[in-house]
């Protein structure tokens, strides 16, 4: 078994990005600038956004954090998005999800200029993804593809089972894995909460990508000998031994599954850091396109 080390890969990607930023600065141009909107005081969201801002600083990007109380009106949030769309000093921005119930996520996503949608959530960018056109591929699926590429894992002709069909992970990764190109060409099955014979389907996977948000759901009896297993899951569970009071747990029961795999990611050094690096890559692309 070999670990798919997302932490190591993401450090390499950050170094590559930093070199690009140094070149941009040397040539007298403005470095990439990412803005992030955070609504409310959800601990996990605050944590994700502060890590994204820190990542920007590390690679030499500019960053702007915009915070609203949980009771901000939808109109006020949409006004801020319009402002960011028009701001020429900002290359891309994200609105950290989930949003409070009184705000319509779809309205917010639709308001973002697709050219600045570095999360790749807008219909235009998802449409381009489906058509195989250049676009912002959302950060988590992009990070998974990058990890497979950097470990030279062959996907052609392989059976890939994607467990979970969310718009931000399961569905786009299934599209990318089935795409007719060097990093795709897998035969893809999407499984979800209504899937029958889930264990058998998972066991038939050469590549198993799990994004359901159910801790340690995938156990050794669901994994084929020699499979590649990618664990996207990241659920906070209380842990008094940690200063933070919690730890993140994946959807795969790593300890029992690892010995059956050829390659496996671990939480939190797998998909998480690759997601963060992908957001930086998308912001760099947004800057270069402007």
Residues in contact with ligand NAP by the rule CB under 6 A = 140, 163-166, 168-170, 191-194, 211-214, 232-235, 271-272, 275
Look up 46 and say whether it is catalytic: no
Least gap, CB of 52 to ligand NAP (angstroms): 11
Name the catalytic one among 52, 80, 116, 224.
52
Q: What size, in residues, is the chain? A: 290
What values do phi and psi take at 99, rounded to 5?
-100, 160
Nearer to ligand NAP, 17 or 169 (CB): 169
- Report helix, strand or coil for 264: strand
User: CA 166, CA 163: separation in Å to the nearest integer?
Assistant: 10
> What are the C-alpha distances in Å from 81 to residues 35, 64, 114?
10, 13, 12
- Report helix, strand or coil for 100: coil
**80 and 69 in contact (C-beta within 8 Å)?**
no
Question: Which tokens is 8 given?
Answer: 């190591």
Least gap, CB of 252 to ligand NAP (angstroms): 11
Nearer to ligand NAP, 92 or 272 (CB): 272
Least gap, CB of 167 to ligand NAP (angstroms): 7
Least gap, CB of 251 to ligand NAP (angstroms): 6
Name the catalytic one among 55, 96, 224, 231.
96
Burial class (CB in 10 A: 0-12, 13-18, 19+), 122: buried
Look up 5 and say whether it is catalytic: no
Least gap, CB of 23 to ligand NAP (angstroms): 28
Look up 52 and say whether it is catalytic: yes
Nearer to ligand NAP, 108 or 271 (CB): 271
> What are the C-alpha distances in Å from 68 to residues 39, 107, 217, 259, 282?
5, 17, 35, 46, 25
- Report helix, strand or coil for 145: helix
Question: Scanning the structure block, which residue is given the tokens 């801790």?
Answer: 215
Nearer to ligand NAP, 39 or 191 (CB): 191
Nearer to ligand NAP, 135 or 138 (CB): 138
Name the catalytic one among 91, 119, 206, 231.
119
Q: What residues act catalytically?
A: 52, 96, 119
């Amino acid at each position: 078994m070999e670990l798919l080390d997302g932490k190591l890969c993401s450090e390499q990607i950050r170094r590559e990005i930093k070199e690009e930023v140094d070149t941009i600065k040397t040539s007298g141009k403005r470095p990439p600038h990412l803005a992030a909107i955070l609504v409310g005081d959800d601990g996990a969201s605050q944590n994700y956004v502060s890590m994204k801002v820190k990542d920007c600083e590390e690679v030499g990007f500019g960053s702007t954090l915009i915070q609203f109380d949980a009771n901000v009106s939808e109109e006020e949030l949409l006004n801020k998005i319009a402002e960011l769309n028009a701001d020429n000093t900002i290359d891309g921005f994200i609105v950290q999800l989930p949003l409070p119930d009184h705000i319509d996520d779809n309205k917010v996503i639709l308001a973002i200029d697709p050219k600045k949608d570095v999360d790749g959530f807008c219909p235009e960018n998802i449409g381009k993804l489906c058509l195989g056109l250049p676009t912002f591929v959302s950060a988590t699926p992009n990070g998974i593809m990058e990890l497979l590429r950097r470990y030279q894992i062959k996907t052609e002709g392989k059976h890939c089972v994607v467990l979970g069909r969310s718009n931000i992970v399961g569905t786009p990764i299934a599209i990318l894995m089935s795409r007719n190109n060097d990093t795709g060409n897998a035969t893809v099955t999407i499984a979800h909460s209504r899937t029958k014979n889930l264990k058998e389907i998972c066991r038939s996977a050469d590549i198993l990508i799990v994004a359901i948000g159910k801790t340690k759901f995938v156990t050794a009896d669901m994994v084929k000998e020699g499979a590649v297993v990618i664990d996207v899951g990241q659920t906070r569970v209380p842990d008094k031994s940690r200063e933070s009071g919690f730890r993140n747990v994946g959807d795969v029961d790593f300890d029992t599954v690892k010995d059956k795999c050829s390659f496996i990611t671990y939480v939190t050094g797998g998909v998480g850091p690759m997601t963060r690096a992908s957001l930086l890559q998308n912001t760099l692309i947004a800057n270069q396109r402007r």
